[in-house]
Amino acid sequence: MMAPSAQAQKQAKKENPLYTFKTLADLTATSVKDQCLTGTCWSFSTTSFLESEAARISGEVVDLSEMASVRYTYPLKAEMYLRHHGLHQFGPGSLCHDVLNAAAGYGLVPEFAFTGLDAGETEFNHGELDAVLAAAVKAMSEQKVLSDDWRDAVDGICDAYLGKLPSSFQFDGKTYTPESFRDHLGINPAQYVSLTSFTHHAFGETFVLEVPDNFSRGQYLNLPIEDLTRVTRKAVMDGYTVAWDADVSEKGFSFRNGMALMPAEGEEGKMFQEVIDEAKVSQASRQEGFENHTTTDDHLMHIVGLAQDQNGNEYFVIKNSWGDGNPYGGRQYISMAYFKAKTIAVTLHRDAMQGGGKRR
């Protein structure tokens, strides 16, 4: 999902928050970024997550390149599309594990080493890139015999719009490769796990989550939603941030107001005008939303804290990638009801699961 317009962000800053919050956990995170006119929330959120992981593991706070993972991933998406003869999802969307795959296959680089912008540009706009790539791979898929030049063609498009990935760079007076920089920061992509919660697969088992952007067929460990929520909360309280994949199409998800609420029946019209009662979310109700497509894989964000409102209700604090134009500088307070109802998946370090939910 793309970021709100600059005008919407400017207006949002004038809003006064209705709720007051007490901080329970506020973890190290870099500044809020703006994905602008791109569909790359998956890279912004997971790169932010890895920045916090690097700070937790090595103590080094560094601004990592979001576009390096995008540049690495797009040719892989093209390959999957062509291997399926054009009968596969192709677009800008991906998921958390695709950034981890990029970190494993390529490495990590600082933002200054690969911005994905032309000289003089300051904002991302992938409209033309996405259209050109989609048209190119569609045309390739329609050929009777696929030329062995297709990889060069896709790379050429990506290089033209994003640039060539660097093989080395200087950081703090030392020369690094992307692989050695990843290792310098203490990031081991194999140490991360993704969790979900749906009843069409058995709890305690892993499965390929059936959402369109899971082009690389990432595996997710299936937990009951109460366990997933408990694991996520404990991780945050233990000092681990969490990458979050969720549906944000609900009216209760409001960047403008800096919150996400799941109103009880009859409370919808009161949202952000007064404190409301929230819905009682069950495993069955969240499954119903997934089955009827009212809960969809819309947007990825980064959980960086935990807070409590004036009535004692808890909220995850997320760092969004839509700029800083809301009452909380680009962060949002996500109610537990919303989290339980609309979470698609979370990704976290495997050590953060110690003592959490049970594998059934």
Q: In the chain, how many domains are there?
A: 1
**Which residues lie across from 171 on neighbouring strands?**
174
Question: Cα dihedral angle (235, 239, 243, 247), rounded to 10 degrees?
Answer: 60
Per-residue pLDDT tens for 54-74?
999 999 999 999 999 999 999
- The reply to whether 149 falls in a domain is yes
User: What are the distances in angstroms from CA 301 to CA 135, 246, 318, 331, 340?
Assistant: 29, 8, 7, 10, 15
| pLDDT average, residue stretch 224-235 | 98
Quick one: pLDDT at residue 354? 81
Domain containing 226 equals: 6-353
Quick one: pLDDT at residue 2? 64
- The reply to whether 358 falls in a domain is no
CATH number at residue 114: 3.90.70.10
* CA nearest to 168, candidates 160, 159, 180, 155: 180
Q: What is the DSSP string of 295-326?
A: S---EEEEEEEEEEETTS-EEEEEE-SB-S-S
- The reply to whether 1 falls in a domain is no
pLDDT band at residue 253 under the 50/70/90 scheme? very high
* CA nearest to 253, candidates 294, 216, 222, 219: 294
Quick one: pLDDT at residue 357? 38
Instruction: Enter the tokens of residue 169.
Output: 């760079």
pLDDT band at residue 124 under the 50/70/90 scheme? very high
Whether the Cβ atoms of residue 216 and residue 83 lie closer than 8 Å to each other: no
Least confident of 11-25, 84-98, 159-173: 11-25
User: What are the distances in angstroms from CA 220 to CA 112, 204, 227, 302, 347?
Assistant: 33, 10, 14, 18, 9
Extended beta strands in the chain, E state: 21-26, 169-171, 174-176, 192-196, 206-208, 219-222, 242-246, 253-254, 259-260, 299-309, 314-319, 331-335, 343-349
Per-residue pLDDT tens for 271-329?
999 999 999 999 999 999 999 999 999 999 999 999 999 999 999 999 999 999 999 99
Question: Cα dihedral angle (82, 36, 166, 136), rounded to 10 degrees?
Answer: 20
pLDDT band at residue 17 under the 50/70/90 scheme? low
| pLDDT average, residue stretch 343-351 | 98
pTM: 0.94
> Helix 96-105 crosses helix 41-58 at what angle (to 10 degrees)?
60
State the maximum Cα–Cα separation within the chain, in Å, rounded to a whole number: 65
Assess whether pLDDT exceeds 70 at residue 330: yes
- The reply to whether 123 falls in a domain is yes
pLDDT band at residue 360 under the 50/70/90 scheme? very low
Q: 3-state DSSP call for residue 273?
A: coil
Write the CB contacts of 195 (distance below 8 Å, at least 6 apart in sequence).
220, 221, 222, 223, 228, 231, 345, 346, 347, 348
Whether the Cβ atoms of residue 140 and residue 150 lie closer than 8 Å to each other: yes
Q: Which amino acid is at 312?
A: G
pLDDT band at residue 119 under the 50/70/90 scheme? confident
280 vs 289: CA distance, rounded Å = 14
* Residue whose tokens read 């969720």: 246
pLDDT band at residue 18 under the 50/70/90 scheme? confident
Per-residue pLDDT tens for 166-218?
999 999 999 999 999 999 999 999 999 999 999 999 999 999 999 999 999 99
- The reply to whether 211 falls in a domain is yes
- The reply to whether 360 falls in a domain is no
On average, the pLDDT of the chain sits at 94
Whether the Cβ atoms of residue 57 and residue 192 lie closer than 8 Å to each other: no
95 vs 82: CA distance, rounded Å = 20
